[in-house]
Structure 1
């Protein structure tokens, strides 16, 4: 079908789709995505992106192998893409919802995403992926539960709570974009951390706070996600210990924690038992790995409320580890290991799949850093800042083999350009090969990285420069598998991934400013066999844009211009 636009789809592809969902449920959702100026999570009035009037958006509660159909009506004033953070989109990067794979949904239009949560379990979230929109909301929780035939490696909790936690700016997101576009201005850290879109407890402007109601003696599961823009946070519950059980699709060795560091884009599940005196207790998410001591009130604060409690909260917040204690944070990260004895999406124990003796076919050493290009500031990978095209790479790959749109493998995967440059970075990932990715953070702030379509085996952390001898420090026995991994300032993180999922896959910083200003690239994993069992064909409702836009289509709308007053270079402060 290459060389022309799709007209019909083969019977075998339809049969494949039916077979792929046999024994699983279809989940149909209609979402209206809109601005709401009446929700005021902080003191200042600003547009919040809601889904069906909800902020955060509704829970997608699915089970392994379910097919999810999300019909999204775009009622905001600019194009919209929705991505499913950590959902691997097996054989189907057409539904990934990032600029390299999909045409956006234009204002006033709708489009239906259809994807399968195949061979996955765990805690994830979704969010709008372009135009810095995640800073305005539009995110929500996504659960993938075990099939009944596969045991969960802990007793069924009394209830589960989704906690979407993240830093929040006090100015409209379009004005934040204006700050980022000016190399003479700097975006200050956000002054607020929201928990489920709600203000901290006992805030001075009277905003609603989050409260979790529990019964004495019962055990509960918290699914915690960092949906913020930039800040890592340390999570803790006053006087209660937690047991770590899962992260982004992997069951972990169950370790007891007083607090947990959660970095941008990451999700965890913890268990806790309401075993304290019946009272109210603080739930706290405070910034970590950044010095905010001059601004001590940047905390997300919710309430753990025992059902028979008559005692209101008072006193100071429970302390966590020192904000700048790098050793604590790294040691905790290294202690998070795969549970090798339990099944997850399949009955096979997770330890059936290991990286002890794999053969690495590719190594990419990727430096995340900052640069200036003309009148703009940008973030780069190996000194190349990503240039987003009007034509999605996946469309170009399918119709014209990328010709005239992008150049494959022009990006330096193991060296750093001498001069900063713009480029549409697309590299080959060897199909069914093992890749080693070394993320080097040349910045003085935390970074985190995510590869759509795959899970990472997190094999190593280190300070300074990585070199081949660093492999001697890797944990190849039971590294946890997850979709987003943190990289400490001045340090490196090494991961392995098995590239068995054909498609065009986004590799990016999850830190929103970095991503928005160019710290991303694409990995093309290709199989020449056009059998749809290898990779699904384009969906029947495929949107076309860029050089493939239907003739006579109106041009894309210009970005909306905010009427808010100009801001000083100090941003939020």
Structure 2
């Protein structure tokens, strides 16, 4: 079923999109990716396979503008199935292109498939990555920029240049071996990686690094850095020696511009900051140090790059700039609360962001979701409300479209406001009321910072708190005036985070932990937002190049029952 080209069906598909946005000056962007294992790319001295795209690690930039159509023809030259997801791109009316196990059949080895998605009504900084089989731990990620249309003003002067800075923790081992050990008591809850990479390069000054990241800048100029945490398990604090950063955007929302000495970036999050080169001609450290992990005895888990002034003749030296206490979570929470929506700025549309406020919304639903450890049949896992998600062989979206889910999942069997007494596997699919406002309460029962992401929607981050969430008391602390809107939100240990989302985007949408091991071992569910209207303006029809698998494959084989280790 793999496509061998774009074909007539994709052309018609693009035309259907284009008609709906006529006059927006949207363009089609055509990309061809060859995805391979590469052993010649060595971020550190260890030999290990890297997932590369067109020989690049990180992968190529997707540089689009609001409402553009992006066609990505992915050739899977790995030895196992592959999917890509577009972290934060909302796939308006089009969960067929979301690229997660609940929406898409995988691209099999030796075949190709073309994603077609639109950056509909979006701007901002995002990234993509492989979404199945723990592959993100081996690379395959890359940056996405969605630029303002020319008719929409950016709320800050045009910078001299823009830099994409993908930062994430990295492990030395083969990701397949790591994957195979996750179902063991010794490894399931082990989360410490070996180092932190910047744009796929090791820390400056470390003997195990093959290279380091460096940006050349000009004194007196201002630059935009688009910073993403593409890691698997480590949240980090980012800072530049002797320079302050001005926060301007996060995952598609322009923020109130605040000046910071350092910025916490949690797994799956992206930010834009402006940095003015107002120091003497010299080289300066760029540092990403882990949160809730001590590096006093071992500095290998600190990412280090170099900011190089163009007329500097001296290499950077001396101690790294100190950041905040990595165990001071109150400081981190206060910074998170200080990040507010810029209510006067336009973004994808000319309307000020403040036009879309949540001060007087009527909530249709409240989901209380507790992330925790679980043990099922002696296997250590992660769960939501004590249900560890089991991935069926048939994508939920296919089952929903063709047989109303029959034989694949049971709608609303998942406990939304309570916790099962006994941990169990489940194919968790819940109803989201179309065009209703949902309140999502993320409760973290773990000792690490977790992050949550909802495909298809923006999350209005209205509150953070410690301990238990209680309706009257906790809601009284919400910020309903200018909560920032983003796609990934952090939840602090033994605390809660509250967000609102407007479910105006029909489809089957993944709600997950961005902590890779938590997600891989069951901390996810799906939200089914359904609209009975078949009008394609409500939800896109299935693409012409739709892949079939599970109960819909050529052999018509039924999906198998859960196995003792369903993630393998």
What's the TM-score once normalised by structure 2's chain length? 0.94
Displacement, 1:404? 1.1
Which residue does 1:345 correspond to in 2? 348
Q: Which secondary structure state, in structure 1, belongs to the residue aligned with residue 315 of structure 2?
A: coil
**For the residues of structure 2 that align with 1:405 and 1:465, how far apart are their CA atoms?**
34
Q: Does structure 1 retain, via aligned residues, the 8 Å contact 2:288–2:302?
A: yes
Aligned counterparts of 1:405 and 1:104: Cα–Cα separation in 2: 17
Equivalent residue number for residue 87 of structure 2:
85
Structure 2 stretches of 5 or more lacking a match? 1-7, 561-568
CA contact (8 A) 2:507 2:539 kept: yes
1:27 deviation in Å? 0.1
1:132 to 131, 134, 137: 134
Cα pair distance change 1:308/1:81, threshold 3 Å: same
- Aligned pairs for 1:347-496 (under 5 A) are 347-468=350-471, 469-496=473-500
Equivalent residues in 2 for 1:112-511, closer than 5 Å: 112-185=114-187, 186-468=189-471, 469-511=473-515
- What is the alpha-carbon distance in structure 1 between the residues aligned to residue 497 and residue 52 of structure 2? 35
CA separation in 1, counterparts of 2:10 and 2:162? 43
CA–CA distance in structure 2, aligned partners of residues 223 and 10 of structure 1 = 32
User: Does the 8 Å contact 1:236/1:258 carry over to 2?
Assistant: yes
For the 8 Å contact 2:52–2:59, the answer to whether it is kept is yes
Map 1:5-20 onto structure 2 (within 5 A).
Answer: 16-20=16-20
More off after superposition, 21-30 vs 99-108: 21-30
Distance 1:111 1:21, change over 3 A: farther
Does the 8 A contact of 1:151 with 1:343 survive in 2?
yes
User: How many equivalent residue pairs?
Assistant: 549
Deviation at 1:550, TM superposition (A): 1.7
2-side partners of 1:47 and 1:400: how far apart?
A: 40
Q: Could you tell me how far apart the structure 1 residues matched to 2:317 and 2:372 are?
A: 43
Report how far residue 368 of structure 1 moved.
Answer: 0.1
Shift of 1:188: 4.3
CA contact (8 A) 1:64 1:147 kept: yes
1:67 equivalent in structure 2: 69
Deviations 1:417-451 (A, max 9, x none): 00000000000000000000000000000100000
**How far apart are residue 292 of structure 1 and its match?**
4.1
Over residues 261-287 of structure 1, what are the superposed CA-to-partner deviations in whole Å (9 max), with x where a residue is unaligned? 000000000001111000000000000
Structure 1 residue runs of 5 or longer lacking an equivalent are 1-7, 557-573
Q: Which moved more, 1:289-298 or 1:222-231?
A: 289-298
Q: Label 1:384 to 1:10 Cα distance change in 2 as closer, same or farther (>3 A).
A: same
Separation in 2, partners of 1:78, 1:382: 32
Q: State the 1:14 CA deviation.
A: 7.3
Assess if the C-alpha contact under 8 Å between 2:374 and 2:380 holds in 1: yes
RMSD: 1.8
Distance 1:552 1:400 in 2: 14
- TM-fit CA distance, 1:11: 12
CA distance in 2, matches of 1:10, 1:149: 29
| Helix, strand or coil at the partner of 1:245 | strand
Matches within 5 A, 1:95-110: 95-110=97-112
Is residue 13–residue 536 contact of structure 1 (8 Å, CA) maintained in 2? no
Distance in 1 between the 2:298 and 2:206 partners?
Answer: 15
Question: Which of the numbers 37, 40, 43 marks the counterpart of 2:39?
Answer: 37
- The whole-number CA distance in structure 2 between the counterparts of 1:202 and 1:96 is 39
Counterparts of 1:425 and 1:402 in 2: how far apart (Å)?
Answer: 12
- Counterpart CA distance in 2 for 1:323 and 1:294 is 14
- Separation (CA, whole Å) in 2 of partners of 1:10 and 1:96: 16
Q: Distance in 2 between matches of 1:68 and 1:191?
A: 35
